[in-house]
Amino acid sequence: MKKIAYKFLIIFFVLFLIIGFFLLVFKKDYGYDIIQLKENDSLQGADNVLPLPKNVTINGVDYIQSQLPVGKFGGIFTTSIMGEPKTFNPYNANDATSAELSEIMYDGLTQTDVSTGRVIPKLAKSFEVLPDNKTYIIHLRHGLKWSDGVDITAEDVYYTYNTIIFGGFGDGSARDVMMIDGMLPEVKIIDKYTVKFITPKPFAPFLRNLSASIVPKHVFEKATKKGKEHFLTFQGIDVNPDNLVVSGAFKLKEYLPSQRVIYTKNQNYYLINKDNKKLPYIDKWVMIIVGDMNNQTLKFESGAIDVLPVSGSLVGRYRELKKHGDFELYNLGPSTNTTFLVFNLNNRKNKDGKYYIPLKKQRWFQDRNFRTAIDWAIDRDDLVLNIFSGMAKPLYSAEPINSLFLNEKIARGHKKDLNYAKSLLLKSGFYYKDGILYDKYNNKVEFELLTNAGNTQREASGVSIKQDLEKLGIKVNFKPIEFNSLINRIVNSVDYDCVILALTSNINEPNAGYNVWTPNGALHIFNKRTNNDLKSTDKVLDFEKKLEEIFNQGALELDFNKRKKIYDKYQEIIAYENPLIYLYAPLNISAIRKKIKNVYPTKIGGLIQNMAEIYIEN
């Protein structure tokens, strides 16, 4: 008996070793708990709490004083961008690259505290909200100057809001988020450094929306007087940098297409360090235009750039490289970029009387069962595993995963189910013949899927989704194209079937998506109106009307818990109607050179949100 037991223990031990070996060899770290994975201190979190800056008045000038350690002046900081800018005018920027590059140069009245998400002053020294919750008194900092030496005053604020934003110049997004139950606020000048805003009703996001770029009246007024068509070309990519007048920490020095963008410090900037010396610390900020993610990685590894967003498939490699490398790795949590698949639901005709979208495709794309079938056919777990090596999470909600307003029920989502997807198609009259899907009018279901070339993650997503939909009998013609061409087709010509894209969300304020979800919004891409049909209401879909009602209601509710319930409803509608089919949220992991100091990443602000306070230690 003892011999039998002994042999059994030996066999059990051997099996245990064999199983352990296979688990070790084939184990996949899918990254869902990457925040806890800090072997050899290879990944640092983004839980910094930065000290709030102080107001300091010196010789009549109201400065902001940084409370971070005093650094060294000088040096060049080099980062990268993927796309080419289309403009350096913040009010013409309807793509991410142009918005990023133009907004660097112009500050707003308020900003979001990167540690807490609270609204704090910026160009404003302080603000008051009167008891009626509709009147806002904004006190500007005294003595601030534009980069050309002209005073920054209430005239600039009044002009920016009353003429440009409320007047509808540019892409309209800034105007969209200021709409309050179909009305706009009033703005009045009290004195040289005081402005009063009066909203039609109490409006919860108002102070946060005052972060819009303030521009110099004495420069921009020349363009707005010539009309909206002229304004669309004002401060385009061919602008002479010497003619730019800015308030931000950096000013454009040079733009060479397909090569680089260079910024230099604004000598009149109003941020100082604890020694009362003017910031920024660095002399130049160079952005190399890399074109695609592979080139971006090569640039970092060759030492040409100082920062790299690390894709999921490279995290393991960079954790090893860090052990003997000159960089740190930071995990900033799930990205606030919401990546999605969107069909063109437009059913309008262009000025020549032709449909933007062929009638047969209109029938497919506007069919909720069709869109829902696509949603259930996509294997998000496969996207996360194969494209990001697990360093992402499946996304099902219009709100990002770390949003304060996330609907947890919607966020749980569902697994891929081809049988259910096929049942929805059959319910709408589609049928199969030799494994190919046809509609009830005997049209073979085939459409074009676009994304921006050079973004390897989206390109890989397109290939994967094409394969998923082939299992539904759908032929997908996947075509990556140049980013600016893609944006033009979506925003201006409304000439697309289906696109993989991403939008950046504000985790503190859902109303930032007003321009995406309301029918006339500038980024209402799934049913984009052109200038010819902006006032058309007969072709607004029922759920679009409901979304507009919800966003108007949510903006007027001041109680957080009540607002949360309101915005839960909009996420339910999006999940049910699927105008945008959400795919994944990559973990935001970045590498940055150790020589770059005063780096305090936060989940709200990102890796280098405090650029003016960053310095280089040689």
Give the pLDDT confidence of 481-518 residue by residue, as tens digits.
998 889 888 887 788 999 999 998 888 899 989 989 99
Tell me, what's the pLDDT at 599? 94
C-alpha–C-alpha distance, residues 387 and 313, integer Å: 7
Give the pLDDT confidence of 270-281 residue by residue, as tens digits.
999 999 999 999
- pLDDT bucket at 537, cuts 50 / 70 / 90: low
User: Mean pLDDT throughout 134-142?
Assistant: 98
User: Mean pLDDT throughout 299-326?
Assistant: 93
Tell me, what's the pLDDT at 572? 97
Tell me, what's the pLDDT at 60? 96
- 6 alpha carbon, distance to own chain's centre: 63
Tell me, what's the pLDDT at 532? 59
Please, where are the H alpha helices in 478-559?
A: 483-487, 514-517, 542-556
C-alpha–C-alpha distance, residues 166 and 199, integer Å: 13
C-alpha–C-alpha distance, residues 586 and 310, integer Å: 10
- pLDDT bucket at 528, cuts 50 / 70 / 90: confident
Average pLDDT of the residues of the chain? 89
User: Mean pLDDT throughout 66-84?
Assistant: 95
- pLDDT bucket at 38, cuts 50 / 70 / 90: very low
Residue 427 has pLDDT above 70, yes or no: yes
Q: Which helix (H) or strand (E) holds 501?
A: strand 498-504
C-alpha–C-alpha distance, residues 376 and 419, integer Å: 9
Length of the chain: 618
Is the Cβ–Cβ distance between 54 and 65 less than 8 Å?
yes
Identity of the amino acid at 117: G
Using CA atoms, how far residue 82 sits from 98, 294, 462, in Å, is 11, 11, 19
CB count within 10 Å of CB 72 equals 12
Structure tokens at 228: 């909206």
Identity of the amino acid at 382: D
Domain span(s) for CATH 3.10.105.10 in the chain: 337-587
- 411 alpha carbon, distance to own chain's centre: 19
User: Mean pLDDT throughout 528-545?
Assistant: 73
Percent of the chain scoring above 90 in pLDDT: 75
Tell me, what's the pLDDT at 441? 97
Is the Cβ–Cβ distance between 82 and 97 less than 8 Å?
yes
Of 99, 246, 207, 221, nearest to 160 by C-alpha is: 221
Residue 167 has pLDDT above 90, yes or no: yes
Per-residue burial over 520-559, b if 16 or more Cβ lie within 10 Å, else e, is bbbbbbbbbbbeebeeeeeeebebbeebbebbbbbbbbee
Would you state the CATH architecture of domain 103-231? Alpha-Beta Complex (3.90)
The CATH fold assigned to 337-587 is Dipeptide-binding Protein; domain 3 (3.10.105)
- 257 alpha carbon, distance to own chain's centre: 23
Q: Which helix (H) or strand (E) holds 186?
A: strand 186-191
Q: Give the global pTM.
A: 0.82
CB count within 10 Å of CB 362 equals 17
User: Mean pLDDT throughout 289-318?
Assistant: 93
Domain span(s) for CATH 3.90.76.10 in the chain: 103-231
Is the Cβ–Cβ distance between 546 and 573 less than 8 Å?
yes
Q: Of residues 5 and 76, which shows the higher confidence score?
A: 76
